[in-house]
Homo-oligomer: A and B are copies of this chain.
């Protein structure tokens, strides 16, 4: 690509509501990155159009400044309020769908949420990822296959859920280490079996600015019962997803737009006495089973580029598209 030489800047004075957008874009276009130029041109256009269409008042602008500041200030090592904001505004759902497209038959992804951590411990098959007394025991038995039905060995599966009070370990004031989370590796049959607890519905953290926003919008902060899963193996597209329990009171009104029909399962009982005994559980303890299907990097990339090209064409975007991402190309 030839060296990018930004056009000479016009005099940036006397800017008003008619010419500020064009001129902001011209200044930002000094960036040498064609992708950054494209992204910021669209960002500035939408930001300004939003203000123009709403005739945003000075008081509303200041309220937004104070809200975003509060969202940033409440973030910590163990709390990510901006991801929460992205989740409740439907942005996380949208970004996930675009970035991890699934061909027919593959397991759907869903929002990561703000509670994934990088300190989960590794567990062996059959172990419990929850310490004693965290909730009603559940045996989880899943398989992981590729789109051709072949088991995938050696997938690192990261699992996290709340305790029976609806709190993740990161929400404990006296957190000493990970709990109700863990990583297991699939065996040669693509299987993982572990002990956990029955998921429960819970409100997303609503004592902060995002909670106050939901209240103003007349929205409840609840998520239906679910267990998070993240699947990683080189050569396969990372799958971030969750399993949901059918019949949950919040099944159709998830505050973060995460539920997909294909991820809802019927919670069972173990029943099989031998299986219960093997895992030191009772026959009427819960059983969760699910068959996951991963796509390869290749399958995901091909589909992502195809989807991007189709969607951009539909939107009338004429920019140059490189690997599924539109850029501001040179003339």
Given the complex of chains A and B, what is the CA–CA distance between A98 and B42 in angstroms? Answer: 21
- In the complex, per-residue mask of A10-25: 1 if CB is within 8 Å of any chain B CB, else 0: 0111111100110110
Q: Classify chain A's interface size.
A: 35 or more
Query: Does A299 count as interface, using CB distance less than 8 angstroms?
Result: no
Are B23 and A257 closer than 8 Å at their CB atoms? yes
Query: Would A47 and B80 be within 8 Å (CB), given that A55-B324, A99-B58 are in contact?
Result: no
Residue of B nearest to A244 (CB): B13
- In the complex, per-residue mask of A48-78: 1 if CB is within 8 Å of any chain B CB, else 0: 1111111111101100010011111101000
Are A90 and B44 closer than 8 Å at their CB atoms? yes
Q: How far is the CB of A93 from chain B (nearest CB, A)?
A: 5
Query: Does A261 count as interface, using CB distance less than 8 angstroms?
Result: yes
Are B12 and A259 closer than 8 Å at their CB atoms? yes
Query: Would A50 and B46 be within 8 Å (CB), given that A31-B217, A252-B11 are in contact?
Result: yes
Q: How far is the CB of A13 from chain B (nearest CB, A)?
A: 4
Name the B residues within 8 Å of A99 (CB-CB): 57-58
Query: Does A32 count as interface, using CB distance less than 8 angstroms?
Result: yes
Name the B residues within 8 Å of A254 (CB-CB): 12-13
Query: Does A131 count as interface, using CB distance less than 8 angstroms?
Result: no
Q: How far is the CB of A109 from chain B (nearest CB, A)?
A: 10
Query: Does A253 count as interface, using CB distance less than 8 angstroms?
Result: yes
**Lowest 7 A-B CB distances belong to which pairs?**
A72-B72, A30-B218, A24-B90, A11-B252, A13-B259, A46-B46, A58-B99
Given contacts A11-B251, A30-B219, A52-B315, 10 further A-B contacts (CB under 8 A): A12-B254, A12-B259, A15-B260, A47-B91, A48-B90, A48-B94, A54-B325, A55-B311, A68-B72, A72-B72
